Amino acid sequence: MAEDAHSRAVYVISVAAELAGVHPQTLRVYERKGLLDPSRTAGGSRRFSERDLARLRHIHELTESGLNLEGVRRVMELETEVARLHGEIDLLRAEAREAVARTHQLYRRDLVPVSHALAPTRHQNRGGGTR
C-alpha cells in the first residue's frame, strides 16, 4: 500500500524544528509529554512527517492561546475523540438511511393500488343504498 505523502516521515529533528519555528529540544519535550510520536529509523533517529509538522503548528497555536502542555495534550485528546464520534455518527446515519430505504422497499411490495372505480361512492356509503 502506498504511503500517504503527509504521513511519510522525512524530516530530521533539526529540520522539523526549524520548519516549526522551535528548538529541537522542544520537540523532544513534546514527545516526552505524549504530544508527538515521530517515526524512528532503524538506528533510532527521529523522523518527522508533514502531519507531524501540522501537529506542531497546532500545539504552538494552543500554547500561544495560554494553554500549558497538559492542557494541550487534553485538548488534542478531546479533538481526536470528537473526530472519532463524528465518524461514528456519519456511519450510523448511513446505516439508518439504508434501513429506512429497505423498509420503504418492503412497503412498496405489499401495497396494492386501488382503482377509483372500485372505491364506494359517497351515496353508497349512506344507509347502504343509492338515492
**Residue 19 domain-assigned?**
yes
> What's the mean per-residue pLDDT of the chain?
86
**Residue 130 domain-assigned?**
no
Structural domain including 74 reads 13-110
3-state secondary structure 95-114: HHHHHHHHHHHHHHHHCCCC
Residue 56: all three cell numbers together: 506542531
**Residue 3 domain-assigned?**
no
- Collapsed DSSP state (helix, strand, coil) of residue 39: strand
E strand map for 14-118: 39-40, 46-47
The whole-angstrom separation of Cα 97 and Cα 131 is 51
Residue 52: all three cell numbers together: 507531524
pLDDT tens-digit series, residues 20-62? 989 999 999 999 999 999 999 999 999 999 999 999 999 999 9
**Residue 71 domain-assigned?**
yes
The whole-angstrom separation of Cα 3 and Cα 10 is 12
Higher pLDDT, 52 or 110: 52
pTM over 0.75? The answer is no
- Is 60 exceeded by the pLDDT of residue 2? no
**Residue 5 domain-assigned?**
no
User: Where is 89: in which H helix or E strand?
Assistant: helix 69-110
- Is 80 exceeded by the pLDDT of residue 76? yes
- Is 90 exceeded by the pLDDT of residue 77? yes
- Is 90 exceeded by the pLDDT of residue 128? no
Residue 50 near residue 5, CB atoms below 8 Å: yes
**Residue 123 domain-assigned?**
no
Q: Which CATH number do you get for residue 83?
A: 1.10.1660.10
- Is 90 exceeded by the pLDDT of residue 109? no
Predicted local confidence at residue 61, as pLDDT: 93
**Residue 29 domain-assigned?**
yes
**Residue 20 domain-assigned?**
yes
Q: How many domains does the chain fold into? A: 1
